[in-house]
Amino acid sequence: MKVLESAPHRYDKGIKILTLGKIDKAYDRVIENIKKHDNVLDIGCGTGMLSFRAVIKGATVIGIDINPEMLEIAEKRTEELKVEEKIKFLEMGVAELDRFENESFEVVVSGLCFSELSDDEISYTLHQIKRILHTEGKFLLVDETRSKSIVKRIVNLFLRVPLIILTYILTQTTSRALKNIEKEIEETGLKIQSRKSNFLDNFVELVIVRKDMK
């Protein structure tokens, strides 16, 4: 999705078109897991699509992202919605997650960010999430995935080819669908509590808890 991040003012509209509206529905669904007064961390928050939904549910949110232009839009929206007391955006990457204390969040959310992380970053981020998540907390992950079915992968590739080419021409980079994320989650000591995927298996919504949850 980096092609959109290079033009953050077009990001929200673009992402809705590219995901054929399913991103809004997925975010609305996962956010149902957030309760009033929860402390929430949004990893790779971008313009705040998940962060603002969490605030509307009554949570207090910290959103982190490495792209200052995406954060600028999130900050403007914070002022417009007058929710400065409930939300804070920090320019920082997942490599700095060690600055948060153990068990400091009831909920960690992340939408379409893991598919932009390297394998090492994914592994590190999962371990950090387990550490900073409250024992009874939830990690809500929405992202692009790679289907195990070859047929579905081929269909998906044809649908994505125009986007992959365009992204590469503009940014020389591209996001990559997550391959083994569910296995990695389990190996980190986290447990998938619920899973929702679409027909092509190229998009997943996961509700994850700690294995040692009380």
Ligand X SMILES: C[S@@+](CC[C@H](N)C(=O)[O-])C[C@H]1O[C@@H](n2cnc3c(N)ncnc32)[C@H](O)[C@@H]1O
- What residues contact 153, with CB distance under 8 A and at least 6 apart? 146, 147
Structure tokens at 39: 């402390």
Q: What's the closest the beta carbon of residue 186 comes to ligand X, in angstroms?
A: 23
Q: State the burial class of residue 161 (Cβ atoms within 10 Å of its Cβ: 0-12, 13-18, 19+).
A: exposed
Structure tokens at 121: 């970053």
Strand, helix or coil at 77? helix
Q: Does residue 67 interact with ligand X by CB under 6 A?
A: yes
Output the CA–CA distances (angstroms, integers) from residue 198 to 71, 143, 187, 192, in the order listed. 30, 11, 24, 17
Binding span for ligand X by CB under 6 A among 61-69, 127-135, 180-188, 189-197: 61-69
- The residue within the footprint of ligand X, chosen from 26, 30, 34, 49 (CB under 6 A), is 49
- The residue within the footprint of ligand X, chosen from 62, 112, 181, 206 (CB under 6 A), is 112
Binding span for ligand X by CB under 6 A among 108-116, 132-140, 151-159, 163-171: 108-116
- Report strand pairing: 105-111 vs 133-144: parallel
Strand, helix or coil at 32? coil
Strand partners, 208: 139, 192
Q: Does residue 114 interact with ligand X by CB under 6 A?
A: no
Q: What's the closest the beta carbon of residue 112 comes to ligand X, in angstroms?
A: 4
Q: How many residues bind ligand X (CB under 6 A)?
A: 22
Name which of 124 and 153 has its Cβ closer to ligand X: 124
Q: What's the closest the beta carbon of residue 7 comes to ligand X, in angstroms?
A: 12
Structure tokens at 193: 């509590």
- The residue within the footprint of ligand X, chosen from 108, 111, 130, 145 (CB under 6 A), is 111
- The residue within the footprint of ligand X, chosen from 3, 31, 45, 181 (CB under 6 A), is 45
Query: Which among 42, 121, 27, 38 is positioned nearest to 89, based on CA atoms?
Result: 42
Q: Does residue 137 interact with ligand X by CB under 6 A?
A: no
Question: Which residues contact ligand X by CB under 6 A?
Answer: 1, 5, 15, 44-47, 49-50, 64-67, 70, 93-94, 111-113, 116-117, 121
